[in-house]
Structure 1
Amino acid sequence: MPVLSGLNATFRLDTKTLPQLEDDQVLIKVLYLSNDPAQRIWIDPQIEPDRLYTEPVEVGDTMRVYGAIAQILKSPSQDLLVGTLVSCTAGWYEYAVIPAKDCALLKSIDGLSPTHHMGVFGTPGVTAYYGMTDIVDAKPSDTVVISGAAGAVGSVAVQLAKNVLKCKKVIGIAGTDSKCRWVESLGADLCLNYKSTTFKEDLIKATHGFVEVYFDNTGGEILDLMLTRVKRDGRVAACGAIADYNATMPSGIKTWYHVIAMRLRICGFVVTDAIPSGRYSKITDELIRGFKEGKIRAAEHGQTIISANFEDIPKTWMMLFRGTGTGKLITELAKPDFTQ
């Protein structure tokens, strides 16, 4: 099924006949879809393909997702039995025939919903861990600021910084007072509402003496302000820029002088950077260990699951850009059926 729906004339709904199953393939039914801001970049015609970190989604292609949870409906493999739940690279479709090698069996984690494999123990969690450790090397002596702190990546980054890496002070930034209180419940010493009329003053006060680490999930005006709050030799993890993904005129950086004067180290990264080195699977194991040790929460507030009809997938995805919910935003197309 190539591209879906009628949202802003960007997507259309198509139906295609599934191909015959080959020996190295499986038939899957998609149950849950990941929603990620990065998908907006994949379809941006203003970005040249050779400036993307992945293949673009071209006009007429199926809209890709970072990940999905699916159930095996047909399989010649003894390792992937019918009814098995798997995580896989997928797209906006209900059913698909895909290579068996692209499916990974889901580990049962203390009775948790399998959807947490798309959040805390999936791409967002690995992104947060990789950014905090491999990119900015956060230490107990550091004060850390995390934007998008109520989001899928930010909420895990907060917990890692405070509860695992034992950073001296962790400050979150989120978009509502209720989100800020939730971020504080995860371990942040303080969380500031960037929509508050006193946000700038509050941030300057909270970062008195400046900070060693800034984990940036938003870009835009918050990044511009935070470059003035990072101390000399400070580190910035450039993880996302959702503030500008849909902007007709990106905000731009007006405080670049501070990068030079303070000798700041800014490093952009993508979670797939962790795959070639084998870090991805090791980080997943560390996240699960952190959960079992009570250092990382996988509470229901850590995910926002929206049950949707297939044709409404784009509407659910757009909730990302309205700041709806907390933690990982997941589209539920169907529940597992274990009666097969």
Structure 2
Amino acid sequence: MMKAKVFIYVHPFEGMPTEENFRLIEEDLPPLKDGEFLAEAVYLSVDPYMRAYAPRLKVGETMIGSQVAKVIESKSIQFPIGSYVVGVFGWRTHTVVPENLPVSQFTPPPVLISYDGSVPLSYYLGVLGMPGATAYFGFLDICKPKPGETVVVSGAAGAVGSHVGQIAKIKGCKVIGIAGSDQKCQWLKTIGFDFVINYKKDNVEQALRAAAPNGVDCYFDNVGGEITTTVINQMNRFGRVSCCGAIASYNDNTPAKAIASYNDNTPAKVTTFLLPVILQELEFKGFVIYTWRNKWNEAVKRNQEWMTEGKLQYQETITEGFENMPKALIQLMQGKNVGKAIVKV
């Protein structure tokens, strides 16, 4: 009988994730039924959304996440043995998957990879996967950048932010990145960002006014918090804001504490930015990337073309060993990764 190693969610988060939030168990897998296949994880994705979405889980459930897996046994014509698949299977080494897995707003169906060995398999969890599609559609469809406009990206050294900044340069924009270390800021300069701001050392408001004296046209927001208020206060009329993430609030025990007083009278952490949204007639839109699931191949194709043309650079932070999944998430939330965070099983 095949056994799977599985990380289950055993203790609700209280602030920053810790090893104690998870437990590694072994699970006996049942024999395959018709229309099912057995997937063996090769790479697992580590993403900030895991911290934000985990409170939706019940204690004892498998921790959420995507992986690139190899089909090692199959009773499905759609998923033959030896093929590779991207699926939202969670933190587990082996998964029995029905070919018609139910889908929702947050769980797309498993997808076969047309893998020819030209790029690492892990790229299908990054630049050719969900983060790449997030950058492509979240920026181009929502911000609608025009040549000569000024674009600001927060969380700019992450998998999505670094990608957005490079697309903005391809589209002829001036790009300002906000990140949390000198190392990250230096890397952003090497991949084409015009200006970088280290929010841990610089006065963001002053640095942004110096970098964008004529204001900001597009803001791709990965972090929320006071940085977002600062940027929105410097946006031009009819500016566009793509709200991708809110990392600044993910470690709050109660999400409402990130924006307003709560039942324990905790003071608001973020200065309101609604007045400039109104007065500058800004477009402010949040999104979930799987809304574009039916157009996914468009993003994969274009991102791959940009990589081949040398217009798009990509970096990974890889952690070795499935048992280090919690460690990789903790380090991600501490901002220790550059580019895409991956665990190699």
- Shared topology, TM-score over 0.5? yes
- Cα deviation 1:172-196 (Å, max 9, x = unaligned): 1111112111112112111111111
Q: 1:110 to 1:8 in 2, by over 3 A?
A: closer
Q: Output aligned runs, 1:71-90, within 5 Å.
A: 71-77=70-76, 80-90=79-89
Q: 1:287 aligns with which of 262, 287, 303?
A: 303
> Residue 64 of structure 1 aligns to a residue in which SS?
coil
Match of 1:166 among 169, 172, 189: 172
Letter aligned with residue 150 of structure 2? T
Give ranges in structure 2 of 5+ residues lacking alignment: 1-5, 12-17, 101-108, 259-268
* 8 Å CA contact 1:303, 1:326 repeated in 2: yes
> Identity rate of aligned residues, in percent?
36
Aligned to 2:15: none
Separation (CA, whole Å) in 2 of partners of 1:59 and 1:309: 21
1:233 is matched with 238
Offset of residue 265 of structure 1:
1.3
Distance 1:82 1:109, change over 3 A: closer
Q: In the aligned structure 1, how far is the partner of 2:117 from the partner of 2:197?
A: 33
Aligned to 2:287: 269
Structure 1 residue ranges without an equivalent (≥5): 45-55, 334-340
**Does the 8 A contact of 1:224 with 1:255 survive in 2?**
yes
Equivalent runs, 1:126-275 vs 2, <5 Å: 126-163=133-170, 165-167=171-173, 169-248=174-253, 249-250=257-258, 251-275=269-293
SS at match of 2:39: strand
After TM superposition, list the pairs within 5 Å mapping 1:64-143 onto structure 2. Answer: 64-65=64-65, 67-77=66-76, 80-100=79-99, 102-108=109-115, 111-143=118-150
Q: Please state if 1:329 is matched with 2:341.
A: yes
1:4 touches 1:13 (CA, 8 Å); kept in 2?
Answer: no
Distance 1:108 1:291 in 2: 16
User: 1:319 and 2:319 equivalent?
Assistant: no
Q: CA RMSD in A?
A: 1.9
Per-residue deviation, 1:95: 1.1
Q: Which amino acid aligns with 2:252?
A: A
Specify whether residues 2 and 151 from structure 1 end up closer, same or farther in structure 2 by C-alpha distance, changes over 3 A only: closer
Matched residue SS, 1:16:
strand
Q: How many residues align?
A: 313
For the structure 1 residues 322 and 125, does the alpha-carbon distance in structure 2 shift closer, same or farther, using more than 3 Å as the test?
same
Per-residue deviation at 1:5? 7.2
Q: Tell me which residue corresponds to 1:58.
A: 58
Q: For the residues of structure 2 that align with 1:257 and 1:38, how far apart are their CA atoms? A: 28
Using the TM superposition, give the Cα deviation of residue 259 of structure 1 relative to its aligned residue in structure 2, in angstroms.
Answer: 1.3
Cα gap change, 1:307/1:2 in structure 2, threshold over 3 Å: closer, same or farther? closer
Contact kept, 8 Å, 1:5 with 1:13, in 2: the verdict is: no
Instruction: Write the distance in 1 (CA, Å) between the matches of 2:10 and 2:70.
Output: 24
Alignment TM-score, normalising by the size of structure 2: 0.85
Residue 109 of structure 1 deviates from its aligned partner by 6.1
CA deviations 1:214-249 (Å, max 9, x no partner) are 110100111011111111111111110001110354
Residue type of the alignment partner of 2:60: G
Cα separation, partners in 2 of 1:322 and 1:212, compared to 1, 3 Å: same
> Structure 2: which amino acid aligns with 1:88?
G
Q: CA deviation at 1:313?
A: 1.4
Check whether the contact 1:2–1:60 (CA below 8 A) recurs between aligned residues. Answer: no
Structure-2 separation of matches of 1:77 and 1:94: 20
Alpha-carbon distance in structure 1 between the residues aligned to 2:20 and 2:330: 14
Could you list the per-position Cα deviations for residues 272-317 of structure 1 after superposition, in whole angstroms to 9, with x for gaps in the alignment? 1112xx222212111112222222123xxx111101242x311211
What is the TM-score normalised by the length of structure 1? Answer: 0.86
